[in-house]
Structure 1
Amino acid sequence: MPHLLIVDDESDIRELIADVALEAGYTVAQASDVRQARIQMERQKPDVALVDVQLPDGDGVAFWKESGPSDTQVVFMTGYSSVDSAIEALRCGAVDYLLKPLSLRRLRGILVELKTMASSPPMPGASDCFAKMIGKSRAMQLLCAHIEKVAPTQATVLLVGESGTGKELAAEAIHLASPRHQQPFIPINCGAISPNLIESELFGHEKGSFTGADRQHKGYFERARGGTIFLDEITEMSMELQVRLLRVLETGRFMRVGAHEEIETDVRVVAATNRNPEQAVAGGALREDLYHRLSVFPLELPPLREREDDVILLAEHFLQKLNDENNTRKTFAPEAVKAMREYSWPGNIRELRNYVYRSYILADDVIKGDFNSFELEAHSAGWGSEILVPVGVPLAEANRQLILATLKQCGGVKKTAAEMLGISLKTLYNRLEEYGADTDLDGSSNPLR
């Protein structure tokens, strides 16, 4: 039987947890403060520990960091939640973070999960989890170290970074390094789904719940049971749907559209945005309570310009893949390597991949290039054109000018403009509709353009 240590100065809470743990198949020891906890650990090392953050004779997190066995799974408890304390607890190695008053459903779920972890199939090695995350820079090493820390927990993660930095790959790495790795990983671009359909896509619907609903439909939260859902472009989700998502995260339950009974969900949520989340909250694009619930463990993905020689590793990786697919042996000339090192890559990995692909097509055997060729490439694609925006112009107006100028540079081809801007085609359509410019610049409204 696994052994549980409960460290809390409130006897009622200790007894409640003990009752639940005994039912779950644990042996239990209790301690009301740090001193008693040390005594109990000397008597028997716990397999699992539930430790209150604020104890009469010390800080629970600091105590565990100093004295807790490294192979004991620890869950911290507190009645005073803050993002900083949650992050500190997770960095200390906690597998979860419980708020008081305790949810018995969550408590039972955590205890059962921790009990079965030892008998779970072995998780993939680090090399498997990070196989798609190419790079050896210090920034990437730090990112991977943080992913390894948070992946085994149940904490929601908010990935923040510029467009094209690889947020979906980071989310997949979190999934692969977690106990959920054998269950589904479902990426969802919130900006690419029609606002009228996204609720049904996420939570499902019942037959007859709306026009066209001719059968029952299971949403992503049902299909991802036991796995991970990645919500990209979270700020593109409507306020009404953000309220529903917050409730699902807090209660672990949801209802299909048109249903009257709740369904219990078991998914881990990883969200992402290429916007500054604090600014998104201030601008009304993201609910503050949802932001704090999602960012229990925020991770910032470094832009390519801060990743040292990773740009060359990535370029060689993309080129090798093209060579393998086409049975060729094309290489980069030294001047091309130098130019890639010196260029700032505002479009990050996505821009680099597109450059390698275009250069591969144009080159015979050796891909040549210098800095001027990058500038020409950027200008011809619409990246290098300049827009003069006076200081003090509202951010929304600056965004409008950038989007319209990029669309004009692309000859009105919306798909190309969306790719260059690093946003989904759906997001571009929404923005153009807001600006009253929802037709192509030549006056046509061809949806394929």
Structure 2
Amino acid sequence: MSHALIVDDDTDSAQMMAALIAAEHFTVATAHNLRDARRQMALQQPDIVLLDLQLPDGSGMDLFDDPQLIAHSEVVLITGHASLETSVQALRLGAADYLTKPVNMKQLRGILSRVMRPSVLKDELASLNAEWQKSGHFGHLWGRSPAMQRIYEQIARVAGTAVSVFITGESGTGKEVVAQTVHDLSRRRKHPFLAVNCGAISPNLIESEIFGHEKGSFTGADRMHQGFFERAHGGTLFLDEITEMPLELQVKLLRVLETGTFMRVGSTTPIETDVRVIAATNRTPEQAVSSGKLREDLYYRLNVFPIALPPLRERSTDVPLLADHFLAAVCERENARKRFTPAALDKLTAYRWPGNVRELRNVVQRAFVMAEGDQITDEWLPSDPPSAEAPAGAAAAPTGRDGSITIRLGTSMAEAERQLILATLRHYNQHKERTAAVLGVSLKTLYNRLKEYAAEEKGDGEATEPSGSTEGS
């Protein structure tokens, strides 16, 4: 039976929590100051310590001064209010989670259901590090480059905590894979991991999809619907392309993060939720804030622990490893055996991969299909077009034939992005898929931007649906 220690100078509060925890089949001890807490931990090592920060003989943080004392205990901070500062403090101290007073039973049960000794997580991370050094494989991620080593270190540091994670990176770099790895290494791993692309859901439906709706709340709502927050209870909710979420819904998301409650569309009854949110965007977050696409208060609430994924061109040494991994998966699925020639791997490594890891996976699958024998040569592999980059030293000119454009100093970030997108679209003859790949954004994001520009120009169709546009690969 697991053992819990409650460190709280409020006797009534400590006794109430002790009764609640005992009902969850834990043995429970209480301490009302730091001295008693140290004595109790010496008598019996607790699996979980619920630690009030305000104690008569010092701060609860003083227990962290003795790492050996809490090395085998999961620590949950008890605070008067939840805030961004609380999240940062919990992460900095190494606490697994935090509770707010008065303690919510549903939230407490969730924490108790996820109790896991730090030594267990430490052993798992040691095993993952050994596997990474052997095969280049860390969780769902592949790579040995220094850039990926840094990502692994960040994931290992944040996975065992409850803080929010904000992942940035170009389209196709693997943001959802990172989120899944964080979830799988967390204490929430036995609960759902749900992913929602905020840019792929109609603005008219996204609130219902995320928060759910009651029967009859709008035309077509013929039954009650549970949203992502409700279905992900106890687990992790990954919000991709968060900057595409309507601003009015961002306000409601912020309230959920701050209060832990939400309401279905058409309801006035608050529903409690225990969900860890991981958000992601392929935009520059600060640019999204300045252009009005992301609320500044929501950004700071989500950006407790940022992870910036490198584009594949900045870790080209990982390309052969990734290519072999994707090829092995295809071979297993198709019950075949093929391999890349050295020349093919060299060509893959030299390519700049505007579509990043997603493009590499697609290229490997196509090369597998086109290769007639058991060897995949460089015949069907992509090459960078001569005009993909302006030649070194070339003079900048607006939409010049060398593929460069001129943007005046003082131009806003939003306008600079607009000029770049439209110029790139013209450069690639209105080929939207190629434009999106070169810019490092999803096709959905490109369509959203073009739709915005069309609205701004009051129906100028050239920005949205140019005649003769090509959407095939």
TM-score, length of structure 1 as denominator length: 0.81
Whether contact under 8 Å (1:202, 1:219) holds in the other structure is: yes
What code does the residue aligned with 1:70 have?
A: A
Q: Distance in 1 between matches of 2:84 and 2:422?
A: 38
Which residue of 191, 194, 197 corresponds with 1:183?
191
| Aligned position for 1:50 | 50
| Aligned position for 2:108 | 110
| Aligned position for 1:399 | 417
Q: Does 1:41 align with 2:41?
A: yes
Q: Distance in 2 between matches of 1:361 and 1:419?
A: 22
Query: Could you say if the C-alpha distance between residues 390 and 448 of structure 1 is closer, same or farther in structure 2, counting changes exceeding 3 Å?
Result: closer
Whether contact under 8 Å (1:139, 1:307) holds in the other structure is: yes
Q: Does 1:273 align with 2:291?
A: no
Whether contact under 8 Å (1:83, 1:295) holds in the other structure is: no
Structure 2 stretches lacking a partner, 5+ long = 132-136, 390-400, 455-460
Whether contact under 8 Å (1:228, 1:268) holds in the other structure is: yes
Which residue of 383, 387, 406 corresponds with 1:374?
383
Q: Deviations over 1:393-445 (max 9, x none)?
A: 3222222223223434554454554455443444333321221246421178x
What code does the residue aligned with 1:241 have?
A: L
Whether contact under 8 Å (2:88, 2:304) holds in the other structure is: yes
| Aligned position for 2:466 | 441
Identity percentage over the alignment?
Answer: 49
Query: Could you say if the C-alpha distance between residues 96 and 308 of structure 1 is closer, same or farther in structure 2, counting changes exceeding 3 Å?
Result: farther
Q: Distance in 2 between matches of 1:72 and 1:274?
A: 38
What code does the residue aligned with 1:368 have?
A: D
* Cα displacement (A) at 1:169: 0.8
What code does the residue aligned with 2:30 have?
A: A
| Aligned position for 2:166 | 158
Q: Distance in 2 between matches of 1:197 and 1:153?
A: 32
| Farther-moved stretch of structure 1 (346-355 vs 417-426) | 417-426
Q: Does 1:95 align with 2:96?
A: yes
Q: Distance in 2 between matches of 1:443 and 1:242?
A: 37
Query: Could you say if the C-alpha distance between residues 375 and 430 of structure 1 is closer, same or farther in structure 2, counting changes exceeding 3 Å?
Result: closer
Query: Could you say if the C-alpha distance between residues 23 and 359 of structure 1 is closer, same or farther in structure 2, counting changes exceeding 3 Å?
Result: closer
Q: Deviations over 1:282-324 (max 9, x none)?
A: 4332223322322333323233344463221101112333344
Q: What SS class does the counterpart of residue 200 from structure 1 fall into?
A: helix
Q: Distance in 1 between matches of 2:7 and 2:20?
A: 19
| CA RMSD in angstroms, aligned pairs only | 3.9
| Farther-moved stretch of structure 1 (51-60 vs 359-368) | 51-60
Q: Deviations over 1:3-42 (max 9, x none)?
A: 444456xx34x64244223332152332434x55434433
* Cα displacement (A) at 1:75: 1.7
Q: Does 1:29 align with 2:39?
A: no
Whether contact under 8 Å (1:319, 1:357) holds in the other structure is: yes
> Where do residues 413-428 of structure 1 align in structure 2 (5 Å cutoff)?
413-414=431-432, 417-428=435-446
Q: Distance in 2 between matches of 1:355 and 1:415?
A: 14
Whether contact under 8 Å (2:21, 2:28) holds in the other structure is: no
* Cα displacement (A) at 1:225: 3.2
| Aligned position for 1:236 | 244
| Aligned position for 1:75 | 76
| Aligned position for 2:13 | 16
Q: Distance in 1 between matches of 2:244 and 2:157?
A: 29
* Cα displacement (A) at 1:186: 1.6
Which residue of 275, 288, 291 corresponds with 2:299?
291
Whether contact under 8 Å (2:107, 2:274) holds in the other structure is: no
Q: What SS class does the counterpart of residue 104 from structure 1 fall into?
A: coil
Q: Deviations over 1:248-270 (max 9, x none)?
A: 22222222211232223333221
What code does the residue aligned with 1:257 have?
A: V
> Where do residues 233-382 of structure 1 align in structure 2 (5 Å cutoff)?
233-307=241-315, 309-326=317-334, 329-360=337-368, 363-364=371-372, 365-368=375-378, 374-376=383-385, 379=388
> Where do residues 216-231 of structure 1 align in structure 2 (5 Å cutoff)?
216-231=224-239
Query: Could you say if the C-alpha distance between residues 56 and 334 of structure 1 is closer, same or farther in structure 2, counting changes exceeding 3 Å?
Result: farther
* Cα displacement (A) at 1:152: 3.7
Q: Distance in 1 between matches of 2:314 and 2:468?
A: 41
Number of equivalent positions: 435
Which residue of 393, 397, 405 corresponds with 1:388?
405
Whether contact under 8 Å (1:230, 1:271) holds in the other structure is: yes
Whether contact under 8 Å (1:160, 1:276) holds in the other structure is: yes
Q: Deviations over 1:92-147 (max 9, x none)?
A: 43211346xx2421x7623663266369xx99966699553122334434433433
Q: Distance in 2 between matches of 1:313 and 1:378?
A: 28
Q: What SS class does the counterpart of residue 183 from structure 2 fall into?
A: helix
Q: Distance in 2 between matches of 1:307 and 1:439?
A: 34
Whether contact under 8 Å (1:411, 1:441) holds in the other structure is: no
* Cα displacement (A) at 1:376: 2.8
Query: Could you say if the C-alpha distance between residues 108 and 196 of structure 1 is closer, same or farther in structure 2, counting changes exceeding 3 Å?
Result: closer
Q: Distance in 2 between matches of 1:108 and 1:228?
A: 16
* Cα displacement (A) at 1:165: 1.6
Query: Could you say if the C-alpha distance between residues 262 and 89 of structure 1 is closer, same or farther in structure 2, counting changes exceeding 3 Å?
Result: closer
TM-score, length of structure 2 as denominator length: 0.77
